[in-house]
Amino acid sequence: MIRFFNTLSGKLEPFHPLKKGEVKLYTCGPTVYDHAHIGNFRAYAFEDLLKRFLVFMGYKVTHVMNITDVDDKTIKGAHSEGISLQEYTKKYIDSFFKDIDTLRMARADHYPRATEHIPEMIQMIKGLMEKGYAYAKDGSIYFSIAKFPNYGRLSKINLKELKPGERVELDEYEKDNIIDFALWKHKKEGEPFWETEVGPGRPGWHIECSVMSSKYLGETFDIHCGGTDNIFPHHENEIAQSEAYFGKKFVNYWLHCRHLIVDGEKMSKSLGNQYTMRDLLEKNIDPLVIRFLLISTHYRKMLNFTFKALEQASASLGRMKDFLYELKNHPFKNGENKNVAQIIEKTRKNFAEGLGDDLNISVALRALFEMIRKVNSFIGKGKIFKKDAENLTDLIRCFDTVLAVLPEEKEDILPEEIMIKINEREKARRDRNFELADRIRDQLAKEGIVLEDTKDGVRWKKVRT
Ligand code: AMP
Ligand code: ZN
């Protein structure tokens, strides 16, 4: 059984998609006014883990992530650089795709852009006006939240604070401002605009997600995600727009990740702690270590991003890599150990059950590392055979379809001659010919292979030369 914490009910709920075996997933994507920062990537990494896990469990997932390429922030950015909105956002859209590829995030099925869905937005806005949920004022169009009694159910706001008739034009505003929000903003000097049936202007931020989710996923769909900052007003407004327009439930499961902070502090440009992928890659940090760190804290816990935590993530990932390496390169004897099949099954079960319990990554990783520890000690005792090594490799590769933190299969294979040298050194050590053993070790080090003798046997690591 899979269960998720649903922000809407405030409870853990068993997960049942609308259509058996299929999941329709919508995740709020980037506002392309700047390079995405490590906090944004926490949200995208959690969503990627969720999606990969559902695929691992056999679901066919249709994933849509919007790209907000027109809003208050993008318009301001383009204006200050004196270039067109399109020219301005292109830079950040390209950067976003490059970064998600670097972080091994599985591509969504659709990345609809707000600017490419203006006619559909107008249709929904007109429909909302006809149904009496929206009204025009000074050339702009607002959603009247007093007309939508379910308003506030997701964010659990107190509707007593509601200020009927007051309006906000800004895309982002605070919880103490429960007022009518803009669906369409009238044309302003120096701003991009579209000539439409509801007048010249541009869309508010929230309408795009209602329009694009229904276009690609249907009027009601399974899961909608984002960071907790999206709950109010963005997701609250999406629910109001979609449910008022279609007259049915918008989304069954709302999943939100808690924020990432840096060195215990909220990220901000002024503190200089707002890292982009570029900043981190310049420091020679392996992107897969970044990914490991981002996914290895449960999504509903605060994630404190520190360089020390990156080092720890690197060490954990190193253990996984060494294990895989050893399975590939150790001179195992032919045969099979029946106990290993049991260990594999138990680990697979714990991994899947852990993630199935509201994506409890700690339980899943614990199962994996426990197994690595156990098998390593078996290897040291000569209790692992060729067939076991193959099965264990398949298991790790299968887990990595969810985690996506290991080098690809084609990478990281040692040339045969190096394997021979390693074996020669092993023999020299057994023969107590330490001088020869050290000489081989030094030669290997020159070729970028570092050997470590542990109580469980020798381990190999590739280092950059
Ligand atoms: P934006 O580009 O600001 O619309 O944000 C894109 C996604 O990143 C949204 O799902 C946000 O909730 C999420 N997000 C923004 N900042 C953080 C943060 N510090 N930690 C986690 N998620 C964040
Ligand atoms: Zn959205």
Mutation to probe ligand 1, out of 32, 229, 268 (largest number of atoms < 8 A from CB): 229
Q: How far apart are CA 45 and CA 311, in angstroms?
A: 19
User: Tell me: the pLDDT tens digits for 241-255?
Assistant: 999 999 999 999 999
Using CB atoms within 10 Å of the CB of residue 353, give its burial: 0 to 12 exposed, 13 to 18 middle, 19+ buried. middle
Looking at the CA of 112, name the nearest ligand: 2
More confident residue, 142 or 418: 142
Residue 429 lies inside a defined structural domain of this protein? yes
Residue 292 lies inside a defined structural domain of this protein? no
Separation of CA 230 and ligand 2 centre (Å): 8
Does pTM surpass 0.85? yes
| pLDDT score recorded for residue 166 | 85
Q: Say yes or no: 249 and 107 in one domain.
A: yes
Residue 8 lies inside a defined structural domain of this protein? no
Q: How far apart are CA 282 and CA 298, in angstroms?
A: 27
Q: How far apart are CA 247 and CA 284, in angstroms?
A: 52
Q: How far apart are CA 218 and CA 110, in angstroms?
A: 14
Cβ(226) – ligand 1 distance below 6 Å: yes
CATH number at residue 175: 3.40.50.620
Q: Say yes or no: 140 and 100 in one domain.
A: yes
Residues, Cβ < 5 Å to ion ligand 2: 28, 209
Q: What is the dihedral of CA 108, 114, 118, 120, to 10 degrees?
A: 40
Separation of CA 74 and ligand 2 centre (Å): 15
| pLDDT score recorded for residue 415 | 55
Of the three residues 377, 403, 429, the one that is the final residue of a domain is 403
- Asked if residue 145 has pLDDT above 60, the reply is yes
Looking at the CA of 304, name the nearest ligand: 1
Q: Give nearest CA residue, ligand 1 atom 15.
A: 40
Residue 275 lies inside a defined structural domain of this protein? no
Residues 129-139 as b/e (b if ≥16 CB within 10 A, e otherwise) read: beeebbbeeee
Mutation to probe ligand 1, out of 31, 34, 40, 99 (largest number of atoms < 8 A from CB): 40
Q: How far apart are CA 448 and CA 120, in angstroms?
A: 57
User: Tell me: the pLDDT tens digits for 346-375?
Assistant: 999 999 999 999 999 999 999 999 999 999
Of the three residues 227, 245, 266, the one that is the final residue of a domain is 266
- What is the 3-state secondary structure of the chain? CCEEEECCCCEEEECCCCECCEEEEEECCCECCCCCEHHHHHHHHHHHHHHHHHHHCCCEEEEEECEECCCHHHHHHHHHHCCCHHHHHHHHHHHHHHHHHHCCCCCCCECCEHHHCHHHHHHHHHHHHHCCCEEEECCEEEECHHHCCCCCCCCCCCHHHCCCCCEECCCCCCCCCCCEEEEEEECCCCCCCECCCCCCEEECCHHHHHHHHHHHHCCCEEEEEEEHHHHHHHHHHHHHHHHHHHCCCCEEEEEEECCEEECCECCCCCCCCCCEHHHHHHCCCCHHHHHHHHHCCCCCCCEEECHHHHHHHHHHHHHHHHHHHHHHHCCCECCCCHHHHHHHHHHHHHHHHHHHECCCHHHHHHHHHHHHHHHHHHHHCCCCEHHHHHHHHHHHHHHHHHHCCCCCCCCCCCCHHHHHHHHHHHHHHHCCCHHHHHHHHHHHHHCCEEEEEECCEEEEEECCC
Counting residues of the chain whose pLDDT is more than 90, the rounded percentage is 81
Residue 282 lies inside a defined structural domain of this protein? no
CATH number at residue 391: 1.20.120
Separation of CA 239 and ligand 1 centre (Å): 19
Separation of CA 304 and ligand 1 centre (Å): 15
Total domain count for the chain?
3
Separation of CA 22 and ligand 1 centre (Å): 26
User: Tell me: the pLDDT tens digits for 255-282?
Assistant: 999 999 999 998 877 778 899 999 999 9
Mean pLDDT, rounded, for 89-114: 98
Ligand 1, closest atom to CA 303? 20
**Residue 101 banded pLDDT, cuts 50, 70, 90:** very high
Separation of CA 44 and ligand 1 centre (Å): 8
The one-letter code for the residue type at 390 is E
Residue 180 lies inside a defined structural domain of this protein? yes
For the ranges 115-119, 218-222, 358-362, 407-411, the lowest mean pLDDT is seen at 407-411
Q: Say yes or no: 421 and 387 in one domain.
A: no
Residue 92 lies inside a defined structural domain of this protein? yes
Q: Give nearest CA residue, ligand 1 atom 17.
A: 39
| pLDDT score recorded for residue 455 | 64
Cβ neighbour number for residue 330 with a 10 Å cutoff? 18
Q: Say yes or no: 74 and 214 in one domain.
A: yes
Cβ(42) – ligand 1 distance below 6 Å: yes
User: Tell me: the pLDDT tens digits for 211-241?
Assistant: 999 999 999 999 999 999 999 999 999 999 9
Q: Say yes or no: 224 and 339 in one domain.
A: no
Ligand 1, closest atom to CA 229? 12
Q: Say yes or no: 258 and 369 in one domain.
A: no
Dihedral sign for Cα 306, 312, 314, 316, please: negative
More confident residue, 21 or 430: 21
Q: Say yes or no: 394 and 426 in one domain.
A: no
- Asked if residue 108 has pLDDT above 70, the reply is yes
Separation of CA 27 and ligand 2 centre (Å): 7
Cβ(260) – ligand 1 distance below 6 Å: yes
Mean pLDDT, rounded, for 305-327: 93
Residues 56-68 as b/e (b if ≥16 CB within 10 A, e otherwise) read: bbebebbbbbbbb
Q: How far apart are CA 287 and CA 404, in angstroms?
A: 11
Q: Give nearest CA residue, ligand 1 atom 10.
A: 226
Cβ(231) – ligand 1 distance below 6 Å: no
How far is CA 10 from each of CA 6, 33, 223, 260, 360, rounded to the nearest angstrom?
A: 6, 33, 15, 21, 17
| pLDDT score recorded for residue 331 | 92
The average confidence (pLDDT) of the chain is 93
Q: Say yes or no: 259 and 382 in one domain.
A: no
Mean pLDDT, rounded, for 180-202: 95
Q: Say yes or no: 435 and 386 in one domain.
A: no
- Asked if residue 86 has pLDDT above 60, the reply is yes
Looking at the CA of 69, name the nearest ligand: 1
| pLDDT score recorded for residue 412 | 59
Looking at the CA of 207, name the nearest ligand: 2
Residue 379 lies inside a defined structural domain of this protein? yes
| pLDDT score recorded for residue 128 | 98
| pLDDT score recorded for residue 411 | 61
User: Tell me: the pLDDT tens digits for 62-77?
Assistant: 999 999 999 999 999 9
Separation of CA 333 and ligand 1 centre (Å): 51
Separation of CA 28 and ligand 1 centre (Å): 9
Ligand 1, closest atom to CA 258? 21
Q: Say yes or no: 352 and 210 in one domain.
A: no
For the chain, the farthest-separated pair of C-alpha atoms sits apart, in whole angstroms, at 90
Q: Which domain holds residue 257?
A: 16-266
Q: Say yes or no: 433 and 363 in one domain.
A: no
Cβ neighbour number for residue 162 with a 10 Å cutoff? 16
Q: How far apart are CA 49 and CA 169, in angstroms?
A: 35
Q: Say yes or no: 344 and 423 in one domain.
A: no
| pLDDT score recorded for residue 401 | 97
Cβ(262) – ligand 1 distance below 6 Å: no
More confident residue, 304 or 162: 304
Of the three residues 266, 299, 329, the one that is the final residue of a domain is 266
Q: Give nearest CA residue, ligand 1 atom 14.
A: 40
Contact 172, 76 (CB under 8 A): no
**Residue 306 banded pLDDT, cuts 50, 70, 90:** very high
Q: Which residues contact 195 (CB under 8 A, 6 or more apart)?
A: none
Mean pLDDT, rounded, for 144-159: 91
